[in-house]
Amino acid sequence: MRRMMRQLAKGVGVFGLMVVAMVAFAGTAFAANPPIGLIPGEDPGTPAAPAEPKITKRVRVAEGLNVPANTYKFTLTREIIEDSETNEMSPIVNNPIEINMSASAPGTVKDADGYVYKEATSDNVLKDITFPHAGIYSYLVREGTGSNPINEGTMTYSSESYRMRVYVDNEPSTSNVYVKYVTFHLVTRVNGITTETKADPVFTNTYTKKTTFEIKKMVAGDYADKKKDFTYTLTLSKVPGVSGNQSYIAQYYLANGTKGRQGQFTVDRPVTFTLKHGESIVFEDNIEVGTKYKLEENPYANYKAEVVVSNADGEIGTEVGADKNTAVTIGDPIASNTNLQAPILLTEKSASATNKAEWTNTYAEPPTPTGIFLNNLPFILMIVIAISGFTGYIVMKRRSRRTE
């Protein structure tokens, strides 16, 4: 019995040593490995070069729209020091954090929703913050509204919240501390349940703006019918963020400049309308920048079509019908002029130019009159033949009398 007890005691002792060794190994491994959620590719900070977390501001727009100038503000809210008996957190000196973005065109890369965008990055968000001791400090990062009002267009600000955890470690040879790691997690709350997802701190705003688009009709030629209706078919393609049943109202203008009826145009649906000489339809500051369009005119006998297309940069191209009685289409891959192939984008208007499609149909000149009407030619020939026959008869009659 005693022998069994001694063996059991030895076993318990060995097991205890194994547990201690495993715990020590686990502790060493935890200390050596970076925390979960570390930004991919970011190296740990050192006493000489502490980690410097930064946040990114992204402004996305539809193609054809520039990003406006603005100053974006972000707040850091102190939360807790995790695994600490005290909750001593230093005040945030540079709060709110500001990111300045100048007005310019966006890049050409599109996000998952089809927007193009521009990005800017902040300075170190922990600048001038002193940490009293080692620990894991937690902050909540949010965006406020921009400091500069957007006079034109609509800016939808980011609603994201990120939890930033700052891992402050002790320097090995001094009593000082330094920032070794920083992690960011996107905080979401659905049905009362809060979740955190590892993510880069990118705050995305969406900027939209309305523009003007005019389609104008002219008829040329001495014998052109200026009261004739010319039929067009317009198809608008929606921009990112616009629903599939979005409609726009166009104002018709008569040749004398007075307003006529109004028309409704729904995106992704061909809409047919007619215009006479001097008339036009105008989408007046109510259609999204970045909208793409396809416009076709029906062919008409004895009329040759030409269309000049412009946007905020001025004239971008001209399309001419191959001959009279030929349909002309712009904003379609079959267009012969590469400037007018799909898509044609509606851009934001400038002080001197806007989006236009100006159509001119020229009536083919009739042949020069000769004084002879072809409809009467058979009768004229009959008279000529009769006169010639009678003249020949008289001549022959006189000759026969002379010979007698």
pLDDT tens-digit series, residues 156-184: 999 999 999 999 999 998 999 999 999 99
- In the chain, % of residues over pLDDT 90: 51
What is the pTM assigned to this prediction? 0.76
Q: Residue with structure tokens 């851009």?
A: 347
The beta-carbon contacts of 198-201 under 8 Å, at least 24 apart in sequence, are 198/36, 198/37, 199/162, 200/39, 200/56, 201/53, 201/54, 201/55, 201/56, 201/141, 201/162, 201/164
Please give the full DSSP string across 219-288, using - where no structure is assigned. EESTT--TT--EEEEEEEEPPTT--TT-EEEEEEE-TTS-EEEEEEEETTS-EEEEE-TT-EEEEEEEEE
Beta bridge partners, 299, equal none
- The gap from C-alpha 189 to its chain's centroid, in whole angstroms, comes to 29
pLDDT tens-digit series, residues 286-302: 999 999 999 999 999 89
- In the chain, % of residues over pLDDT 70: 73
pLDDT, position 25: 37
* Whether pLDDT at 93 is above 90: no
pLDDT, position 94: 64
Q: How confident is the model at residue 72 (pLDDT cuts 50, 70, 90)?
A: very high
Q: How confident is the model at residue 8 (pLDDT cuts 50, 70, 90)?
A: very low
pLDDT, position 279: 97
pLDDT tens-digit series, residues 211-235: 999 999 999 998 899 999 999 999 9
Q: Residue with structure tokens 């406006």?
A: 68
pLDDT, position 15: 42
- In contact, 233 and 215? CB cutoff 8 Å: no
CA dihedral 130, 131, 136, 138 (to 10 degrees): -50
Burial state string for 198-212 with b = 16 or more CB within 10 A and e = fewer than 16: eeebbbbbbbbbbbb
Q: What average pLDDT score do residues 78-94 get?
A: 65
Most confident by average pLDDT, 133-137, 260-264, 335-339, 381-385:
260-264
pLDDT tens-digit series, residues 352-389: 889 999 999 999 876 566 555 455 556 556 665 666 66
How many CB atoms are closer than 10 A to CB 249?
12
